[in-house]
């Protein structure tokens, strides 16, 4: 039987930062001291695939171009310039005359079809090349999201741009962009090969909670802004929630920078998040949709990195007489 070393994580709040062992070092020491005749802990790992990672980055970049194309359609009131769907003026392949709003709407559809093709390839490639089960599920989720996005886009045309459906179409586009960016992160060399630096979070609310709250308020802001742009709501809820977004994102970014600036994976997205928020407040509605997409994706990346590098420390009170190694 394996005699495990005494766990010190329950004393984090009492002993301070000096007593916080690295999670990787703890596991390495524990496994190396175990009886070699006992079965060792195993994890499903995957080798770094440069081709898959670069393709995932390209897919994420193409998705951002698609969001820009969609924003141009809304800004130029070109949503019904092509009156039918899934065809364009009765054809699936003929290029219509690119005049007026048609050039915005048809370009948007063309880019969407291209991104859909990229997503199919990415899902299949991930399923075949990545050994991580959750990554395969994420690839399938990306494919399902882009299909749903296309269907919502078609419904907006067939039902003459209902504000609620158009806003859901915009929100789902941002969600797919976040998934694409996350896949690019998870297939990167650092994520696959590095041993994460861990620093436990003992403050309340935790940084993980703040990042999730940031994602929530950004989704609310995205939906309110989309409803305003599609003439389904007044401007004041969007402006009021902008103040909430500014407070929550500032709180999150400043907490990350003041407490965990030495962890690059946390520091970098926190700086980007704060910079994008300042730009968003400075420029207002100009390029609103594209900047919110970047804000939301950055908040998602920060949340993922905080979950990986800054786990929440749970304090458990155990009497001193009971702190003894136990047999596994």
List pLDDT tens digits, range 192-225. 998 888 899 989 999 999 999 999 999 999 888 8
Strand ranges in 52-202 using DSSP code E only, listed in sequence order = none
Question: What is the per-residue pLDDT for 37?
Answer: 39
Tell me if 52 sits within 8 A of 125, measured CB to CB. yes
Question: What is the per-residue pLDDT for 323?
Answer: 47
Distance CA 172, CA 218 (A): 13
Token pair of 100 as six digits: 């007026």
Angle subtended at Cα 26 by Cα 14 and Cα 202, rounded to the nearest 5 degrees: 30
Question: What is the per-residue pLDDT for 13?
Answer: 45
Question: What is the per-residue pLDDT for 91?
Answer: 85
Judged by DSSP in three states, 326 sits in coil
Distance CA 316, CA 13 (A): 10
Low-confidence ranges of the chain (pLDDT < 50): 1-24, 26-43, 316-318, 322-328
């Amino acid at each position: 039987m394996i005699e495990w070393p005494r766990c010190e994580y329950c004393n984090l709040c009492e002993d301070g930062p000096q007593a916080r062992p690295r999670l990787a070092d703890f596991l390495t020491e524990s496994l190396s001291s175990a009886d070699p005749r006992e079965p060792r802990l195993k994890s499903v790992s995957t080798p770094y695939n440069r081709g898959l990672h670069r393709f995932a980055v390209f897919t994420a970049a193409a998705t951002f171009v698609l969001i820009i194309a969609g924003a141009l359609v809304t800004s130029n009131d070109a949503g019904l310039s092509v009156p039918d769907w899934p065809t364009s003026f009765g054809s699936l392949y003929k290029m219509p005359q690119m005049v007026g709003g048609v050039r915005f709407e048809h370009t948007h559809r063309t880019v969407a079809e291209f991104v859909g093709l990229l997503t199919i390839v990415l899902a299949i490639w991930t399923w075949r090349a990545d050994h991580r089960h959750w990554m395969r599920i994420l690839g399938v989720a990306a494919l399902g999201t882009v299909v749903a996005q296309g269907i919502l886009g078609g419904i907006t045309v067939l039902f003459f741009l209902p504000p609620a459906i158009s806003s859901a179409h915009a929100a789902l586009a941002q969600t797919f962009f976040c998934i694409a960016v996350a896949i690019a992160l998870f297939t990167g060399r650092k994520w696959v090969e590095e041993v994460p630096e861990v620093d436990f979070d003992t403050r309340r609310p935790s940084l993980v909670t703040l990042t999730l709250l940031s994602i929530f308020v950004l989704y609310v802001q995205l939906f309110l802004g989309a409803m305003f742009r599609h003439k389904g709501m007044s401007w004041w809820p969007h402006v009021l929630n902008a103040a909430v977004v500014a407070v929550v994102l500032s709180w999150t970014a400043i907490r990350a920078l003041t407490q965990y600036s030495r962890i690059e994976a946390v520091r970098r997205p926190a700086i980007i998040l704060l910079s994008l928020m300042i730009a968003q407040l400075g420029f207002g509605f100009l390029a609103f949709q594209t900047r919110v997409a970047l804000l939301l994706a950055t908040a998602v990346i920060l949340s993922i990195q905080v979950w990986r590098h800054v786990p929440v420390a749970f304090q458990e009170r155990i009497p001193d007489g009971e702190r003894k190694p136990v047999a596994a």
